[in-house]
Amino acid sequence: MPLDTPHTAQLPRIAMRAEMLDAETEFMLATAWRERGDEAALHRLITAYMRLAISMATKFRRYGAPMNDLIQEAGLGLMKAAQKFDPGCGVRFSTYAVWWIRAGIQDYVMRNWSLVRTGSTSAQKSLFFNMRRVQAQLERKAMARGDELAGYQLRAHIASEIGVPLRDVELMTERLAGTDLSLNASQSGDEGAREWIEALEDEAPRGDQVAERDHDLGAMRGWLMAAMEGLSARERHIVRARRLSDTPSTLESLGIELGLSKERIRQVEAAALGKMRLYLERERPEVMGLLA
């Protein structure tokens, strides 16, 4: 496969030397791969159209991605096209492959544009790759008429031209205008200034919440232990194994351990829980709402 070469920089040179396939040869190779899994035919087909993938990759250089990475993604798109292409569909492979190559490159560009995902829907993707071009066209037309489009008017025209909601245009404008900043960056240029990460709200529970939670848990644990005092030793063992263990025992494993059937274990467990409920309803009615 072309992408197996150790140096991606060699791909353009290799691609330029590749053969040009006529329609008949292309059909033969695609059929051999689809029907017989002929890897040699697949290799020849991909190698012949690698120049197409590289040509499309060069159109996305302005987005700042390394050219080698763009070529790799274009090559992956080309291979996906070869895997899915039906030679009997009546179109040339190059026509079919263009869509897969472009989709692969666009997904890569959007994934790597920002640490924050820029967008994944078809509308967001269309905006990402077309908004600035459409905006420039609208501004040129307005200038030719002697008009000036305000920010809101311009965004509304862009939404209408591309066929997406105005809200999507506003969100994409904000995303493209911003840049990724480290949370460890200083809020000002002064030495020893506070970092942005220090301004984030701590999502951990507050000290008073932790104390209140620990108090409530301790109280409930005491009530449950008191309720278990009225159980037999076997009932306590089953309740602990089934309800109070980090890895609860199964009915089957307890049955084997105690020499009882699974149904008998279930009955004993239900009876024990019933006794505990009656105790709590009688002695600690306030806790029943918490345990419901």
CATH of the domain at 227: 1.10.10.10
Q: Convert the pLDDT of each residue in 224-240 to its tens digit.
A: 888 888 899 999 999 98
- Tell me: do 231 and 283 sit in the same domain: yes
- Tell me: do 215 and 286 sit in the same domain: yes
187 within a domain of the structure (yes/no): no
* Residue 8: per-residue pLDDT: 54
CA distance 160 to 165: 8
Compute, in degrees rounded to 10, the torsion defined by CA atoms 44, 47, 53, 57: 160
- The pLDDT averaged over each successive group of 10 residues in the chain (292 residues) is 50 71 90 90 89 87 81 90 88 89 84 56 67 76 76 78 77 63 58 61 65 76 84 91 88 92 92 88 66 48
198 within a domain of the structure (yes/no): no
* Residue 203: per-residue pLDDT: 61
Listed residues 84, 113, 142: the one ending a domain: 113
Q: Are 110 and 118 in contact (CB under 8 A)?
A: yes
Query: Of the candidates 255, 280, 275, which has an alpha carbon nearest to the alpha carbon of residue 266?
Result: 255
Please report where in the chains the tokens 């689809």 appear, as a residue.
Answer: 34
* Residue 158: per-residue pLDDT: 78
Please report where in the chains the tokens 């666009």 appear, as a residue.
Answer: 106
- Tell me: do 215 and 285 sit in the same domain: yes
- Tell me: do 100 and 70 sit in the same domain: yes
CA distance 238 to 255: 10
Listed residues 113, 130, 154: the one ending a domain: 113
The overall longest dimension of the chain from CA atoms, in Å, is: 94
- Tell me: do 13 and 99 sit in the same domain: yes
Count of the separate structural domains present in the chain? 3
* Residue 123: per-residue pLDDT: 65
193 within a domain of the structure (yes/no): no
* Residue 1: per-residue pLDDT: 44
CA distance 67 to 54: 9
* Residue 155: per-residue pLDDT: 80
CA distance 28 to 21: 10
194 within a domain of the structure (yes/no): no
Q: Are 284 and 223 in contact (CB under 8 A)?
A: yes
- Tell me: do 16 and 109 sit in the same domain: yes
Q: Are 288 and 280 in contact (CB under 8 A)?
A: yes
- Tell me: do 96 and 142 sit in the same domain: no
- Tell me: do 106 and 134 sit in the same domain: no
* Residue 266: per-residue pLDDT: 92
Q: What is the pTM of this model?
A: 0.45
196 within a domain of the structure (yes/no): no
Count other Cβ atoms within 10 Å, centred on residue 171. 15
CATH number at 17 reads 1.20.120.1810
What residue numbers bound the domain in which 229 lies?
209-291
* Residue 137: per-residue pLDDT: 80
Q: Are 138 and 154 in contact (CB under 8 A)?
A: yes
* Residue 184: per-residue pLDDT: 60
Compute, in degrees rounded to 10, the torsion defined by CA atoms 207, 212, 217, 219: 140
Q: What is the mean pLDDT of the chain?
A: 78
* Residue 6: per-residue pLDDT: 43
Based on its alpha-carbon atoms, the radius of gyration of the chain, rounded to whole angstroms, reads 34
- Tell me: do 217 and 255 sit in the same domain: yes
* Residue 175: per-residue pLDDT: 65
- Tell me: do 105 and 132 sit in the same domain: no
